[in-house]
Amino acid sequence: MATGLSHDQVAEILRDLTSEKVLIRRQIDTLLACPRCRNVSTVLKLKCTNCGETSLRTGTVIEHIPCGYVDFSEKFYDEDRLRCPKCRKTMKALGVDYRKPGSYYRCQSCGEVTPVPARIAHCERCGKAYDLDELDEIEVYAYQLNPEKRGELDKLFLDLDDIASRLMEKNLFANSSVRVKGKSGEEHLFSLIIRDPDPSENDPTFVDIFTSDKLIDETRVLYFYTKCLDMESANNMFVAVPGLLPLAGALARSYKINIVETSRFEEIADKIFQAIKKFIEKETERSMSHGEEQLQITPK
């Protein structure tokens, strides 16, 4: 992950997002890591418990019971007989004077024979070897976006205050994340409420910005429309990031909702401004033509 953040910083961010329930985490692994450098790719090696060397051979062994000598079985073969390489006695029968205890390991350095050699983990990064119980245990988690927090997460990345201040720079009054009471008495949250600086000119424009990873469907438009109805507002704008599905677009147009579609967060403020300018002009034209009508009426 090329984030430019350190491992610890990423871990801290993930921890925070998990405690805020934005991410859901699930443990998927426990890895053993070098206690010094946290490398999880240590190499396992067998080690002689006697001298500590790591070159061991494995094979089936024979134990000569009278003298206790243990070695690989081929060392006992002497033509068609078995003879102990240590005490040179011929061996009679399996289970009587010798036995085959199974697979053993023999140290190539000191000759020690053992059924269970030690296992060590060698870290190639720091060049040191550790006993397995010295290794650190690292819990590995998989992270998943909490679907219930999707909306909040979008707001996290979408800076409504920044959009509002950019609109202010263009001489529009904009408030972000506004809660207002509708005629039903219910409170509604709008992403933005925008007003023209001249209060006599225009009613406020109610704006919702909805972001998704795919085109937005009509349920969002309907929900926005019901809020606008309750506000009895004439100027409504739905900003869809990245855009609306065709049916949602048709629905929005039939409800006379101004639609702004963009796939880029940084374009939102400009696009809202352009759209508002357009219908401010329309409003002005309408009131002007209305004025002309009145003028025509007056002489009567």
Give the one residue of 25, 45, 83, 86 binding Zn ion; rule: CB under 5 A: 86
Which part of the chain contacts Zn ion (CB under 5 A), choosing from 112-120, 171-179, 227-235, 251-259? Answer: 112-120
Q: How far is the CB of 111 from Zn ion (least distance, A)?
A: 7
Contact residues for 19 (Cβ-Cβ < 8 A; gap 6+): none
Which part of the chain contacts Zn ion (CB under 5 A), choosing from 15-23, 77-85, 204-212, 236-244? Answer: 77-85
| 251 counts as binding Zn ion under rule CB under 5 A | no
| 48 counts as binding Zn ion under rule CB under 5 A | yes
> Whole-angstrom Cα distance, residue 257 to residue 251?
9
Beta bridge partners of 259: 238
> Whole-angstrom Cα distance, residue 248 to residue 135?
57
The whole-angstrom distance between residue 47's C-alpha and the CA centroid of its chain comes to 40
What does the block give as tokens for 11? Answer: 């871990």
**Residue closer to Zn ion, measured from CB, 110 or 142:** 110
Give the one residue of 17, 61, 69, 163 binding Zn ion; rule: CB under 5 A: 69
Give the one residue of 18, 39, 212, 233 binding Zn ion; rule: CB under 5 A: 39
Could you tell me the CA-to-CA distances from 105 to 52, 160, 210, 289 in Å, in that order?
13, 69, 67, 102
| 138 counts as binding Zn ion under rule CB under 5 A | no
Give the one residue of 97, 112, 134, 218 binding Zn ion; rule: CB under 5 A: 112
> Whole-angstrom Cα distance, residue 212 to residue 239?
11
| 34 counts as binding Zn ion under rule CB under 5 A | yes
> Whole-angstrom Cα distance, residue 274 to residue 259?
11
Give the one residue of 56, 62, 123, 228 binding Zn ion; rule: CB under 5 A: 123
| 247 counts as binding Zn ion under rule CB under 5 A | no
| 25 counts as binding Zn ion under rule CB under 5 A | no
| 84 counts as binding Zn ion under rule CB under 5 A | yes
Could you tell me the CA-to-CA distances from 100 to 38, 96, 225, 294 in Å, in that order?
42, 11, 85, 117
Pairing of strands 235-241, 118-123: unpaired
Which part of the chain contacts Zn ion (CB under 5 A), choosing from 14-22, 106-114, 155-163, 247-255? Answer: 106-114
DSSP 156-183: HHS-HHHHHHHHHHTT-EEEEEEEEE-T
Could you tell me the CA-to-CA distances from 98 to 74, 85, 107 in Å, in that order?
14, 13, 22
| 97 counts as binding Zn ion under rule CB under 5 A | no
**Residue closer to Zn ion, measured from CB, 47 or 227:** 47
| 125 counts as binding Zn ion under rule CB under 5 A | yes
Which part of the chain contacts Zn ion (CB under 5 A), choosing from 53-61, 73-81, 220-228, 255-263? Answer: 53-61
What does the block give as tokens for 226? Answer: 């019901």
| 134 counts as binding Zn ion under rule CB under 5 A | no
CA-wise closest residue to 174 among 276, 94, 243, 105: 276
**Residue closer to Zn ion, measured from CB, 50 or 262:** 50
**Residue closer to Zn ion, measured from CB, 51 or 247:** 51
Which part of the chain contacts Zn ion (CB under 5 A), choosing from 17-25, 82-90, 247-255, 273-281? Answer: 82-90
Binding site for Zn ion (CB under 5 A): 34, 36-37, 39, 48, 50-51, 53, 64, 67, 69, 84, 86-87, 107, 109-110, 112, 123, 125-126
